Amino acid sequence: MIEILEHTGEAAFKVIAQTEEEIVKEACKGILAIYFGEEYLKENSEEKNKNKQKYRYQKEEISADGIDFESALVNFLNEIIFYFDARKLVLKEVENIQIKKNDETEIKATAKFERFNPQKHKPKIYVKAVTYGGLQLKKTADGKLEIQIIVDI
């Protein structure tokens, strides 16, 4: 679950999930909600259900690492932003998420992208990068994981 938050001068959202893998998946949705608005997520979900067989996506293997889960997540999300900025690819879905923890934490996933189409993709806010500000993974009273993500716009 994502929740868009009010933040002075930047954008922010909160993710609540059961696992770190779900945190990654939901955080990617949060970036899309900041870029295109929360209604885009609903449209994207409805379109996915209608066009399961007929639409071809460009798949990319994305990986990012960091000293801990939080820093690896920031680097992973910044990779997603890079694909939009540099390659004009809009994220549709992230799957096969793997998190490896050794001396560092690495997040790997398969990302499905589609080409940017100005008729379909109407950015509301330009996202520069995900920041480390206030970034802390916490457990809630009911045992779920929660993280707040601040985005530089």
What's the rounded Cα separation, in Å, for the pair 151 and 31?
Answer: 8
What's the rounded Cα separation, in Å, for the pair 53 and 24?
Answer: 25
Q: pLDDT confidence of 25, banded at 50, 70, 90?
A: very high
CATH of 2-152, one of 3.40.50.2300, 3.40.50.300, 3.30.300.90, 3.55.10.10: 3.55.10.10
Quote the pLDDT of residue 56.
73
Prediction pTM value: 0.91
- pLDDT digit string, tens, across residues 119-136: 888 898 889 999 998 899
Q: pLDDT confidence of 105, banded at 50, 70, 90?
A: very high
Q: CB–CB of 26/34 below 8 Å? A: no
What's the rounded Cα separation, in Å, for the pair 19 and 145?
Answer: 7
- pLDDT digit string, tens, across residues 62-99: 999 999 999 999 999 999 999 999 999 999 999 999 99
Q: CA nearest 44: which of 136, 35, 130, 134?
A: 35
Report domain extents, the chain: 2-152
Query: Quick one: CA dihedral 102, 133, 86, 25, positive or negative?
Result: positive
